[in-house]
């Protein structure tokens, strides 16, 4: 027996306990109280159903009704996602503002996808085709950059009975499929429960680099399409700027940005900036490929817990179309804290630092939804979903549970360092502690497609930086003057790599994005100086003039060379050689 309504018996912050919901399942959505607040069942003990409520619960009390919906928390997928901004449970924030005002009022509800917009559906499949779930029935030009593919929903495989060009809103029928269970009408919306990953045919190891235009990342700690990365760092070390830079410049076709429990003004920043920034590849505004989920820190904590799942389900949907998708989650620590808060209210036995014992498995489950895959459908198209999570460890302490649970599953670690940030070295990614397990994949790709010296240069740069760190210890004890001349030259080269290559200004128009070509040219110029200078030193040149060459100022400014004038790097190298050659020898 099942009922469709129950009664509240307990309210404690975002947690409500109700009775009489017989038949309700775990993670089913319910509406709580007269205000019909959104909630989700997260625990069932006998007749007591614990519900996490996505809105402020003031004014809810025992005796008030709880309504079942019979559905798990799900998102709407279809044309209209691109350029949208949603809260953690996919309510469209722009529409809420238009209809309900500048503050989010309780019980406000609007469909996630615009019903009024008319789309042009262009069929790809033909009448009589055998189709399976994931097969593309037709396309809709959703934005200048995104061709939205309307796919056969799960469980709706069969023979196409009817299909044709259609103009209509997302609820308009675009095809009819004769399935085993009879004819199924297909429109442009799918619904998908967020806590369940969307299926793929097959997962494969990543092979292509995900470039970001950030020199320290692309060159030293690269990311791959379909990979996972995390950016932990104390506050003020520039996590959010790194995430924004990735959202702006990642060479993926779709970007999903999840602002999870972070600042409202940061989301505004993205909203205001993205329409004006141009994608370096297509020249179109970045907004044309972006979906945003914003559940800022002051918005209800339970919706924050859901926001990460809402974001990743949307990302998976685009991946299923065969696109490369990147999802940035800022910050997964806030997500973990939301879990901790709910867990505490459920009076669960806590694990480390009050976090629930299932923290590790939840985090692993989230990152495992990434990947480079063969999508569902019979055409064997490939898509990728890359995940980049920011982590905000308390006090910058990397031994805390969220960082540790994340490091167990991610392949790239960009460790932000507040000491670098204080010295205004940005991005403040520490080159000694960070790592990337995609280095080999990316080296292979770049050696082949870009510059055969890629791997060699990268390894030399890393070695110089490592050696510099060792020498610095020594300098701290005995002073710079005590170093041998070639070590001092090495210190100089390492400093140039740090200041003239790794240091990158996100707010400078020219410096904000660097192509791989320019990156390798810039690094090659610095190494060229080091090689020539070392040779000169061996041939009897004096150290000090070598360290004070005027041409080094040009090297320092070489990062501002325009992308269409990379020829200047060859001239620069020539000038470096000439300047060193002209020094007197003894």
Partner 1 sequence: MITKEYRTVKQIIGPLILLEDVEGITYGELTDIKLTNGVARRGRVLEVNGDKALVQVFEGTSGLSPQDIKVKFLGKGLELGVSQDMLGRVFDGFGRPIDGGAPIIPEKWLNVNGNPMNPYARDYPNEFIQTGISTIDALNTLVRGQKLPLFSGSGLPHSRLAAQIARQATVLKTGEKFAVIFAAMGITFEESEFFVADFQRTGAIERAVLFMNLADDPAIERIAVPRLALTAAEFLAYEKAMHVLVILTDLTNYCEALREISAARKEVPGRRGYPGYLYTDLSTIYERAGRIKGKTGSITQIPVLTMPEDDKTHPIPDLTGYITEGQVIISRPIHAQGIYPPVDVLPSLSRLKDKGIGKGKTRDDHANVMNQLYSAYARGKNAKELAVVLGESALSETDILYVKFSDAFEDRFVRQGEHENRTIEESLALGWELLGMLPRSELKRIRDEYIDQYYPKKG
The string of DSSP codes covering 153-206 is: PTT--EEEEEE--EEE-TTS--EEEEETTEEEEE-S-EEEETTSPPP-SEEE--
Taking CB under 8 A as the criterion, which residues in 32-51 touch partner 1?
none
Is residue 59 a contact point for partner 1 (CB under 8 A)?
Answer: yes
CA distance 363 to 401: 11
Is residue 422 a contact point for partner 1 (CB under 8 A)?
Answer: yes
Beta carbon of residue 304, minimum distance to partner 1 (angstroms, whole number):
8
Q: Which of these segments, 62-70, 162-170, 531-539, 570-578, binds partner 1 (CB under 8 A)? A: 62-70
281 by Cβ neighbours in 10 Å (0-12 / 13-18 / 19+) ranks as exposed
Pick from 129, 173, 284, 418 the residue near partner 1 by CB under 8 A: 418
Beta carbon of residue 260, minimum distance to partner 1 (angstroms, whole number):
12
* Structure tokens belonging to residue 269: 């920043």
* Structure tokens belonging to residue 127: 């009448």
Is residue 479 a contact point for partner 1 (CB under 8 A)?
Answer: yes
Q: Which of these segments, 349-357, 406-414, 511-519, 526-534, binds partner 1 (CB under 8 A)? A: 349-357
Pick from 70, 394, 540, 567 the residue near partner 1 by CB under 8 A: 394
- CB of 32 or CB of 136, closer to partner 1: 32
Beta carbon of residue 25, minimum distance to partner 1 (angstroms, whole number):
24
- CB of 264 or CB of 540, closer to partner 1: 264
β-strand partners of 167: 120
Beta carbon of residue 43, minimum distance to partner 1 (angstroms, whole number):
15
Question: Which residues, in sequence order, are CB contacts of 387 under 8 Å at separation 6+?
Answer: 227, 228, 229, 312, 326, 327, 329, 366, 367, 369, 370, 410
- CB of 105 or CB of 535, closer to partner 1: 105
- Cis link prior to 453 (omega < 30° from 0)? no
The CA-atom distances, in angstroms, between 401 and each of 369, 392, 487, 536 are 21, 11, 40, 52
Taking CB under 8 A as the criterion, which residues in 480-499 touch partner 1?
480-481, 499
CA distance 306 to 545: 61
Which of 126, 253, 224, 266 is CA-nearest to residue 436?
224
- CB of 354 or CB of 538, closer to partner 1: 354
Is residue 586 a contact point for partner 1 (CB under 8 A)?
Answer: no
- Contact in structure between 297 and 261 (CB atoms under 8 Å): yes
**Interface characters, 182-221, with partner 1 (x: CB under 8 A):** ----------------------------------------
**Interface characters, 71-100, with partner 1 (x: CB under 8 A):** --------------x-------xx-xx---
* DSSP strands (E only) in 424-516: 435-436
Q: Which strand ranges, in their side-by-side order, compose the sheet holding 158-163?
A: 130-131, 158-163, 175-179, 182-186
SS3 461: helix
- CB of 374 or CB of 475, closer to partner 1: 475
Q: Which of these segments, 359-367, 391-399, 433-441, 570-578, binds partner 1 (CB under 8 A)? A: 391-399
Q: Which of these segments, 52-60, 66-74, 171-179, 185-193, binds partner 1 (CB under 8 A)? A: 52-60
Is residue 61 a contact point for partner 1 (CB under 8 A)?
Answer: yes
Taking CB under 8 A as the criterion, which residues in 286-325 touch partner 1?
294, 296-301
Beta carbon of residue 178, minimum distance to partner 1 (angstroms, whole number):
43
Q: Which of these segments, 72-80, 347-355, 407-415, 454-462, binds partner 1 (CB under 8 A)? A: 347-355
Taking CB under 8 A as the criterion, which residues in 104-123 touch partner 1?
104-106
H/E element, 441: helix 439-449
Pick from 2, 5, 22, 58 the residue near partner 1 by CB under 8 A: 58
Pick from 118, 469, 478, 484 the residue near partner 1 by CB under 8 A: 478
- CB of 316 or CB of 417, closer to partner 1: 417
The string of DSSP codes covering 523-551 is: HHHHHHHHHHHHHHHHTTB-HHHHHT-TH
CA distance 74 to 230: 26
Is residue 396 a contact point for partner 1 (CB under 8 A)?
Answer: yes
- CB of 125 or CB of 561, closer to partner 1: 561
**Interface characters, 245-284, with partner 1 (x: CB under 8 A):** --------------x-x-xxx-xxx-xx------------
Angle at 487 between CA 481 and CA 492, to 5 degrees: 90
- Contact in structure between 256 and 270 (CB atoms under 8 Å): no
Question: Which residues, in sequence order, are CB contacts of 274 under 8 Å at separation 6+?
Answer: 247, 248, 285, 286, 287, 290
Rounded to 10°, the helix 454-478/485-496 angle is: 120
Is residue 567 a contact point for partner 1 (CB under 8 A)?
Answer: no
H/E element, 131: strand 130-131
Is residue 353 a contact point for partner 1 (CB under 8 A)?
Answer: yes
Beta carbon of residue 552, minimum distance to partner 1 (angstroms, whole number):
9
Taking CB under 8 A as the criterion, which residues in 326-345 touch partner 1?
334, 337-338, 340-341, 344
Taking CB under 8 A as the criterion, which residues in 16-35 touch partner 1?
17
Pick from 50, 52, 57, 190 the residue near partner 1 by CB under 8 A: 57
CA distance 375 to 199: 8
């Amino acid at each position: 027996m099942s009922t469709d309504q129950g009664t509240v018996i307990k309210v404690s912050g975002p947690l409500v306990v109700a009775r009489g919901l017989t038949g309700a399942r775990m993670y089913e959505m319910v509406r709580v109280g007269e205000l019909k607040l959104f909630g989700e069942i997260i625990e069932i003990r006998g007749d007591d159903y614990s519900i996490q409520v996505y809105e402020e619960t003031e004014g809810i009390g025992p005796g008030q009704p709880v309504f079942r919906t019979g559905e798990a928390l799900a998102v709407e997928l279809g044309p209209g996602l691109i350029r949208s901004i949603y809260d953690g449970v996919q309510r469209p924030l722009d529409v809420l503002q238009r209809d309900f005002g500048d503050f989010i009022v309780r019980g406000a509800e609007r469909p996630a996808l615009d019903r009024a917009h008319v789309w042009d559906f262009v069929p790809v499949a033909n009448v009589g085709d055998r189709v399976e779930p994931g097969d593309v029935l037709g396309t809709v030009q959703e934005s200048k950059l995104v061709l939205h593919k309307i796919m056969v929903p799960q469980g709706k495989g069969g023979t196409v009975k009817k299909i044709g060009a259609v103009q209509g809103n997302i609820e308009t029928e675009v095809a009819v499929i004769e399935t085993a269970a009879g004819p199924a009408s297909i429109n442009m919306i799918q619904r998908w429960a967020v806590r369940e990953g969307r299926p793929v045919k097959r997962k494969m190891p990543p092979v292509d680099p995900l470039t970001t235009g950030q020199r320290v990342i692309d060159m030293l700690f690269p990311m791959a399409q379909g990979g996972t990365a995390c950016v932990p760092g104390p506050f003020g070390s520039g996590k959010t700027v790194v995430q924004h830079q990735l959202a702006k410049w990642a060479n993926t076709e779709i970007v999903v940005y999840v602002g999870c429990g972070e600042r409202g003004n940061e989301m505004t920043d993205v909203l205001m900036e993205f329409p004006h920034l141009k994608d370096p590849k297509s020249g179109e505004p970045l907004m044309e490929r972006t979906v945003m989920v914003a559940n800022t820190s002051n918005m209800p904590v339970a919706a924050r817990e859901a926001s990460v799942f809402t974001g990743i389900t949307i990302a998976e949907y685009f991946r299923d179309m065969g696109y490369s998708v990147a999802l940035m989650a800022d910050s997964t620590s806030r997500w973990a804290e939301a879990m901790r808060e709910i867990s505490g209210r459920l009076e669960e036995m806590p694990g480390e630092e009050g976090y629930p014992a299932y923290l590790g498995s939840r985090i692993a489950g989230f990152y495992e939804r990434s990947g480079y895959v063969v999508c569902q459908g019979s055409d064997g198209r490939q898509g990728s979903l890359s995940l980049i999570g920011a982590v905000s460890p308390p006090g910058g302490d990397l031994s805390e549970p969220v960082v540790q649970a994340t490091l167990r599953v991610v392949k790239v670690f960009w460790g932000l360092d507040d000491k670098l940030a204080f010295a205004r070295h940005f991005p403040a990614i520490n080159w000694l502690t960070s790592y990337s397990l995609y280095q080999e994949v990316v080296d292979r790709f770049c050696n082949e497609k870009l510059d055969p010296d890629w791997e060699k240069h990268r390894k030399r740069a890393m070695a110089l930086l490592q050696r510099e760190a060792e020498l610095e210890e020594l300098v701290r004890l005995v002073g710079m003057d005590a170093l041998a001349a070639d070590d001092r030259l090495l210190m100089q080269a390492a400093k140039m790599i740090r200041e003239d290559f790794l240091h990158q200004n996100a707010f400078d128009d020219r410096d904000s994005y660097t192509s791989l070509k320019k990156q390798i040219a810039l690094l090659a110029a610095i190494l060229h100086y080091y090689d020539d200078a070392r040779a000169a030193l061996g041939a009897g040149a004096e150290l000090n003039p070598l360290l004070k060459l005027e041409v080094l100022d040009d090297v320092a400014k070489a990062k501002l060379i325009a992308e269409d004038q990379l020829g200047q790097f060859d001239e620069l190298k020539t000038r470096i050689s000439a300047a060193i050659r002209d020094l007197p020898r003894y």
